[in-house]
Amino acid sequence: MVRLLQKDKYTNKKYFIMDNSKTVSTLNDLLNITNDRIKGFSKVEDKVWETYSPLKNDYDQMVRESQTMKSDLIALISERGGEVDDTSTTAGALHRTWIDVKNAFGGDNAESTLENVVFGENAAIDAYEEALEDGNLCPQSTAVVARQLEQLKSSYAKFETLNKSVD
């Protein structure tokens, strides 16, 4: 984060302002990925519950957490004076299209759906870890993103364990 020196043209006082552009950009990237998660969850809605009904509560919790994560990211972006990019990623759109094609030709089964959830959660974890490692986040954003990463890892672990048990 770069501090920019500004001079007030009326008072001639100098002051520093924070350049939050890198933080905002990284947060918008994570927002796009969170939107991918939300759209992905809507694609698997009700596809595995007949076979894996105990997962319904975990899934519902993941959806709620995703909505909260989205709200937190939007708040952080806005607090830093950034413009919110409330879209999803091209990669996420391609993955959802691939899921549709795969389901159309290979059958729309619970195992395949679980694999897709695990794949999506793993991609989100990778993006969050990269965001924390790149050093572009301010301390408050780092704390929020780290907490969200732990939520992602927890949901990944639940579905990865189940996915391995059906293989």
Report the C-alpha gap between 61 and 87 in whole angstroms: 22
pLDDT at 30: 96
From residue 90, alpha-carbon distances to 56, 87, 126 in Å are: 28, 10, 16
pLDDT for res 2:
43
Q: What's the confidence (pLDDT) of residue 60?
A: 84
CATH T-level assignment (fold) for domain 20-166: Ferritin (1.20.1260)
pLDDT value of position 64: 92
Mean pLDDT of residues grouped by 10 in the chain (167 residues)?
A: 52 61 94 90 70 76 92 95 89 71 64 77 94 94 97 87 64
Domain boundaries, the chain: 20-166
Q: How far is 20 from 43, CA to CA, in rounded Å?
A: 35
Q: Supply the pLDDT for residue 137.
A: 94
Q: How far apart are CA 114 and CA 111, in angstroms?
A: 5
